[in-house]
C-alpha cells in the first residue's frame, strides 16, 4: 500500500505512525495513558479490527496496535521474516528499540499465537486470545495445506489472482464463511485489504511459513494468565481448539461467546470489552 494515499479513510488514522525497526516499516496506532497494552491482529487483518475496542481500552492503558509484517500498512521487504519465530523476534526488537513495555497483550486468531510466543522474550502478565489459532491442520492437510501455501506464495502472479475483482460482495462472502456478520464500514476495510496485492502477498507469505510446533510444545511452561474468548459460531478456528490449548496452559480459562463468529470483537465490541476489562482489572 502507498502510505500517504491509502491511509486516508482508514480506521482511526489520527493515531497512526510509521516506525522503522529491523527489516520492517511498521504501522503502529498508539493512544491512551497507563500500563502498556499491545494489540495484534490475525492473518489477513489490520489495526482496523480493533477500532471498536481502542477508544475504551485507552481510558486505562497505553494502547499500541500493530499491523503484522507485510500486511495492512506494515511494509516488509523480507518475506522470510513472516514465520512465527521471526515475527516474535521482530516485534520484540521493535518494542526494545522504542522502550515499550506491555503488561498485557490482546491477540486475535494468529495474533494470539504471536502473543503467547512473546512470553518467551518479554515479561507479560496477561494475555487475551480472541478465537486463538492454536492448532495445526490434522492428517493429510497438515502437510498438504502448507505445501500449497508455499507454492502459491512463490508464484508472483498469485496475489494478482486473489485481488482481481475485489468487491464488497466478495469480502462479505469471505467474512460470512468465518461465521461472522459485520457492519458495512468493516466490510469496506476488508474489501480494501482483499484488493491490495501487497497485503494479500504478505498474508500468503505468513501462511507459507507458519508453524506452531515449537509454541505448542511450550504451552505447559507458559505461566502467564491467559483468557481465551471464543465465539461459538467460529467457522474458521473450531472452538474446541481454544479449550484444548487452555487445558495445556497452567493459568488459562475459556469464556464462550454464544452466537459470535471468528470476528467476535468486531461483531459485538461491547460484549468483548466487558470480558477483557474484567480480566485486565482482576
Q: Which domains does the chain have, with CATH numbers?
A: 3-136+212-281 (3.40.50.1820)
Cα 190-196-198 angle, rounded to 5 deg: 125
pLDDT at 129: 98
Distance CA 175, CA 160 (A): 20
pLDDT at 155: 52
* pLDDT less than 50: residues of the chain: 1-5, 139-145, 147-149, 151-153, 157-159, 161-162, 164
pLDDT at 163: 52
Tens digit of each residue's pLDDT (9 = 90 or more) over 230-280: 999 999 899 999 999 999 999 999 999 999 999 999 999 999 999 999 999
Question: Bridge-partner residues for 108, per DSSP?
Answer: 130
Find out whether 252 and 228 touch, Cβ atoms under 8 Å: yes
Selection from 103, 109, 107, 98 nearest residue 122 by Cα: 103
Distance CA 155, CA 70 (A): 16
pLDDT at 239: 95
Selection from 34, 195, 171 nearest residue 102 by Cα: 34
CA 179, chain centre distance (Å)? 17
Find out whether 52 and 266 touch, Cβ atoms under 8 Å: yes
pLDDT at 3: 47
pLDDT at 137: 56
Distance CA 110, CA 45 (A): 10
Amino acid at each position: 500500500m502507498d502510505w500517504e494515499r491509502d491511509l486516508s479513510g482508514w480506521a482511526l488514522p489520527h493515531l497512526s505512525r510509521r516506525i522503522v525497526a529491523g527489516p520492517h516499516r511498521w504501522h503502529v496506532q498508539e493512544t491512551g495513558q497507563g500500563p502498556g497494552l499491545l494489540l495484534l491482529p490475525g492473518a489477513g487483518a489490520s489495526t482496523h479490527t480493533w477500532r471498536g475496542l481502542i477508544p475504551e481500552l485507552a481510558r486505562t492503558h497505553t494502547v499500541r496496535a500493530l499491523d503484522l509484517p507485510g500486511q495492512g500498512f506494515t511494509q516488509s521487504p523480507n518475506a522470510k521474516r513472516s514465520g512465527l519465530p521471526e515475527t516474535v523476534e521482530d516485534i520484540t526488537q521493535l518494542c526494545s528499540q522504542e522502550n515499550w513495555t506491555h503488561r498485557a497483550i490482546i491477540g486475535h486468531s494468529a495474533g494470539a499465537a504471536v502473543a503467547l510466543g512473546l512470553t518467551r522474550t518479554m515479561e507479560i502478565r496477561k494475555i487475551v486470545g480472541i478465537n486463538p489459532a492454536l492448532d495445526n491442520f490434522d492428517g493429510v492437510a497438515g502437510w498438504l495445506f502448507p505445501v500449497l501455501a508455499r507454492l502459491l506464495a512463490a508464484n508472483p502472479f498469485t496475489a494478482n489472482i486473489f485481488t482481481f475483482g475485489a468487491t464488497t460482495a466478495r469480502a462479505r462472502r469471505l467474512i460470512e464463511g468465518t461465521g461472522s456478520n459485520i457492519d458495512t464500514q468493516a466490510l469496506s476495510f476488508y474489501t480494501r485489504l482483499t484488493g491490495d496485492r501487497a497485503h494479500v502477498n504478505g498474508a500468503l507469505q505468513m501462511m507459507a511459513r507458519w508453524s506452531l510446533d515449537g509454541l505448542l510444545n511450550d504451552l505447559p511452561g507458559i505461566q502467564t494468565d491467559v483468557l481465551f474468548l471464543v465465539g461459538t459460531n467460529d467457522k474458521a478456528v473450531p472452538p474446541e481448539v481454544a479449550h484444548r490449548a487452555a487445558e495445556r496452559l497452567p493459568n488459562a480459562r475459556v469464556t464462550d461467546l454464544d452466537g459470535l463468529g471468528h470476528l467476535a470483537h468486531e461483531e459485538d465490541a461491547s460484549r468483548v470489552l466487558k470480558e477483557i476489562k474484567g480480566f485486565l482489572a482482576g
